[in-house]
Amino acid sequence: MTSLVMLLVGLLLFPLSAIAQSYQNVSLGSSLTTSDVTSFWSSPSDEFALGFQKIGNESRYLLAIWFNKITDKTIVWSANRNNLALDGSKVQLSADGRLVLTDPNGQEMWARGMANAQLAYGAMLDNGNFVLATSSSDTLWQSFNEPTDTILPGQVLNQDNSLVSSFSDTNVSSGRFEFILQTDGNLVLYTVNYPAEATNAAYWSPMSVGSGYQVIFNQSGFIFLQAKNGTLINSISSNVENSRSQSMYHRAILEYDGVFRHYVHPKSSGREPMAWSSLYNIPDNICLSIRQSTGGGACGFNSLCSIGTDQRPRCDCPLGYILDDPNDKLGSCRQNFSEQNCNHESREVESFTFHEMLDTNWPDSDYESHRDVSEDWCRQNCLNDCFCDVAIYSDDNVCWKKRYPLSNGRVGPTIGGKALIKIRKDNSTVGTPNVEIRKKKNQSTLIISGSVLLASSVFMNLFLILLALLYIFKFIGKKRKRTAPYSAVPGVNLRSFSYKELEQATNGFKEELGTGAFSTVYKAVLDDENGKVVAVKKLRNMVTEGEGEEVFEAEVNSISRTNHKNLVQLLGFCNEGQHRLLVYEHMKTGSIAHLLFKDSRLSWSKRVQVAIDTAKGLCYLHEECSTQIIHCDIKPQNVLLDENLTAKIADFGMAKLLKKHQTQTTTRIRGTKGYVAPDWFRSMPVTVKVDVYSFGVLLLELICCRKNYEQDVANENEMILLEWAYDCYKRNKLHLLVGDDEEALEDIKRFEKFLLVAIWCIQENLASRPNMKKVMLMLEGSVEVSIPPDPFSFVDSI
């Protein structure tokens, strides 16, 4: 009864054609041909139409649905994107009850609906959906269930439905990106290895995943992920222009550049321009979001992705490189010169030079790195190395060597460092002169930095200066074959100190930087290294004289072989009788413990960076260095910041160094209370997962800016951060954890993600904890974070 009244009111208020879902029937036997693109099947209001659209300037046609009332007739669906129709093709609602596209010879190219299924009519609806229906109006097929790259208000993306981007802005073929609601309930964005359909790692996924049932684009212009029981899981795009929603057309599309955008367009001309404007996009910056071990990234291999002034990503080949396929602007680039000869006799060092680019990196193509070197050293080293195609000289004096093909290339103001792109002089248009001038200017730095590295003795210095002079002569005398071997400088830079030297450098162990259970750290100044400031760690009560000397040196050696920008670098050691000391680079800003729990706390964005840096450092210790190192004592006091606020892990490798000592004491727990994984207490072997646990505690402290254990709190249940944080998460009261941190509040999605990662890390069941690589990827956003189980629910079977 009420609905009838509503219907009548509706009929009175609106002209008949404007009532949504009414339709104009397309009767059986009707057809459209490519020869007359001015005829199409439109919806009652004329807002949408189905018909042929000509693609490009050749006679190729797409059977499509488009917005019919706006000038650019934006396509929202198509039938034959990978198989365009030639002139003379036809689409017909066939007498046997199917929608059929045929080529000029009458061959079927595409068809939907079932033969003899009592199809009565087809209809273009006012919401952009084309339906095939029976006489009792049961839907047999609808275009909404088979989306191409776009969804519209009223449309739902079911499990296993996906949007696949176009190949480029002019080519409608299926392209390189996919937005899919998987059958496992995860909504993800993938890059696709064109032309096969294999996907690489996901580059975006909302946080709470695993229970997604439908992606819904509702009539008010909201896009969200819903669970089967109807709960909203994640808002994907919220319509900020809600009030004017009805005066706007909406569409959401996975575009050829990999970005999912929600667009609006005014329905009638008013103050705003009659064009599509982007309301929301995912991800924020696709150049930085994609970071995966296979595939080229947002652009092809060797290409560089940057965000243009139009806020869209663009792909550019570096100088000296050209597009592999000139028609594919988003594709891979290749060197437009012949590669360097690897033969030792004729390495052609003189034929190559560098093109410099600031704030540029291909972060995943490293094969070697050297720290504490000068830029000039880095250039020479790369020139002499035929494997080196690009060297990145970072702001913290690390030389990262990279080889072909380079992936995930990006340019942007937050990237830092300088890319030195090696190119052949003869084939390139680069001005070689300015590079040469720069080299001469840098000769002195070369000598100084070289000697700092090698300064273990006067003889070494003399030798190095001799080498450098030789090199300069060669350079001035020009083009004599080959340079002197210029490698071997890194690797020998672990210096052996005498106790006396360190006593002097620390001014008699005067200025203490920190103290721990087994050691004290002092500040020291090395006069013979230009007054370089270092940190000297004096190990206490180690062993009696002579004992375990070889073990000590072996371990020191293994620590010294670690080389990562998020680890505090070991510079030297002293092993003299009972004196065992380690010399590290000095970290100006000190440990994060001071910057988290005091009044002047680190900003949210800095804390985010510290979390990611620390995860990277730990990941390296666990997975990438030659012998796996379990840290065993991850806590804020062991995460130090340099002057650029890059976080570096300190004190690693100590577990092994102290092993002998530990067996003599009653407790085998070396970690610090509050950060120690429960595994320690069970008689279980110590694995990398103990570090993951401690990292989880650290991560919680980082995001919440408070200590794990605090007595002075308002409520008793807030005393232990681990328990309180999980409780807040469970009760959906994140704001309690965020407190008054406005920057974090604005970034609440990331806050929640980090919280979830932390909860995964602190699982009592060590098998449930992810490894550090996964943790790192989750924090960076390249791997989805699923909902963690209750961390405290695990009952040990012993």
Ligand X SMILES: *[C@@H]1O[C@H](CO)[C@@H](O)[C@H](O)[C@H]1NC(C)=O
Binding residues vs ligand X (CB under 6 A): 23, 25, 56-58, 120-121, 135, 167, 171, 173, 211, 218-220, 222, 224, 227, 229, 231-232, 322, 336-338, 426-427
Q: What is the CA radius of gyration of the chain?
A: 32
Query: Least CB distance from residue 219 to ligand X, whole Å?
Result: 4
Q: Which is nearer to ligand X, 167 or 573 (CB)?
A: 167
Q: Phi first, then psi: what are they for 430, rounded to 5°?
A: -70, 140
Q: b/e map of 626-652 (b: 16 or more CB within 10 Å)?
A: eeebbbbbbbbbbbbbbeebbbbbbbb
- Contacts of 674-683 spanning 24+ positions with Cβ under 8 A: 674/635, 674/707, 674/708, 674/709, 675/633, 675/634, 675/635, 675/708, 677/766, 678/764, 679/766, 682/796, 682/798, 683/798
Looking at the DSSP bridge assignments, the partners of residue 252 are 151, 262
Q: Which is nearer to ligand X, 332 or 672 (CB)?
A: 332
Query: Least CB distance from residue 47 to ligand X, whole Å?
Result: 17
Contact (Cβ atoms closer than 8 angstroms) between residue 575 and residue 552: yes
Query: Least CB distance from residue 233 to ligand X, whole Å?
Result: 7
Query: Least CB distance from residue 105 to ligand X, whole Å?
Result: 21
Residue carrying structure tokens 């072989």: 561
Query: Least CB distance from residue 260 to ligand X, whole Å?
Result: 18
Instruction: In whole angstroms, give the CA distance from residue 190 to residue 200.
Output: 6
Instruction: In whole angstroms, give the CA distance from residue 265 to residue 72.
Output: 11
- Residue ranges of E strands in 484-559: 495-496, 512-515, 519-526, 532-539
Q: Which is nearer to ligand X, 645 or 734 (CB)?
A: 734
Query: Least CB distance from residue 90 to ligand X, whole Å?
Result: 20
Query: Least CB distance from residue 23 to ligand X, whole Å?
Result: 6
Query: Least CB distance from residue 330 to ligand X, whole Å?
Result: 10
Q: Which of 470, 535, 529 is nearest to 506 (CA)?
A: 535
Q: Which of 61, 294, 44, 298 is nearest to 176 (CA)?
A: 298
Q: Phi first, then psi: what are they for 250, rounded to 5°?
A: -120, 150
Instruction: Give residues with Cβ within 8 angstroms of 201, minimum separation 6.
Output: 190, 292, 293, 294, 777, 782, 783
Burial class (CB in 10 A: 0-12, 13-18, 19+), 586: buried
Query: Least CB distance from residue 281 to ligand X, whole Å?
Result: 19
Pairing relation of β-strands 519-526 and 108-112? unpaired
Q: Which is nearer to ligand X, 342 or 484 (CB)?
A: 342
Residue carrying structure tokens 């990978």: 82
Q: Which is nearer to ligand X, 209 or 640 (CB)?
A: 209
Pairing relation of β-strands 399-402 and 366-370? antiparallel
Question: Is 329 among the annotated ligand-binding positions?
Answer: no
Judge whether 138 counts as a catalytic residue: no
Instruction: Give residues with Cβ within 8 angstroms of 535, minimum separation 6.
Output: 513, 521, 522, 523, 524, 583, 584, 585, 586, 587
DSSP for 211-249?
Answer: ---EEEE-TTS-EEEE-TTS-EEEEEE--TTGGGGGGEE
Instruction: Give residues with Cβ within 8 angstroms of 299, minimum separation 6.
Output: 305, 313, 315, 330, 331, 409
Q: Which SS3 state, helix, strand or coil, does residue 376 take?
A: helix
Q: How many CB atoms lie within 10 A of CB 18?
A: 13
Pairing relation of β-strands 570-576 and 139-142? unpaired
For the chain, counts of helices (H) and of strands (E): 18, 45
Instruction: In whole angstroms, give the CA distance from residue 259 to residue 237.
Output: 13
Q: Which is nearer to ligand X, 253 or 535 (CB)?
A: 253
Query: Least CB distance from residue 342 to ligand X, whole Å?
Result: 16
Structure-block tokens of residue 689:
């997962």
DSSP for 558-615?
Answer: HHHT---TTBPPEEEEEEETTEEEEEEE--TTEETHHHHSSSSPPPHHHHHHHHHHHH
Q: Which is nearer to ligand X, 48 or 518 (CB)?
A: 48
Q: Which is nearer to ligand X, 229 or 243 (CB)?
A: 229
Q: Which is nearer to ligand X, 136 or 414 (CB)?
A: 136
Q: Which of 257, 376, 633, 741 is catalytic?
A: 633
Query: Containing H/E element for 616?
Result: helix 604-619
Instruction: In whole angstroms, give the CA distance from residue 271 to residue 278.
Output: 17
Q: Which is nearer to ligand X, 311 or 341 (CB)?
A: 341
User: Looking at the annotation, which residues are catalytic?
Assistant: 633
Q: Would you list which residues are annotated within the binding site for ATP?
A: 538
Q: Would you list which residues are annotated within the binding site?
A: 538
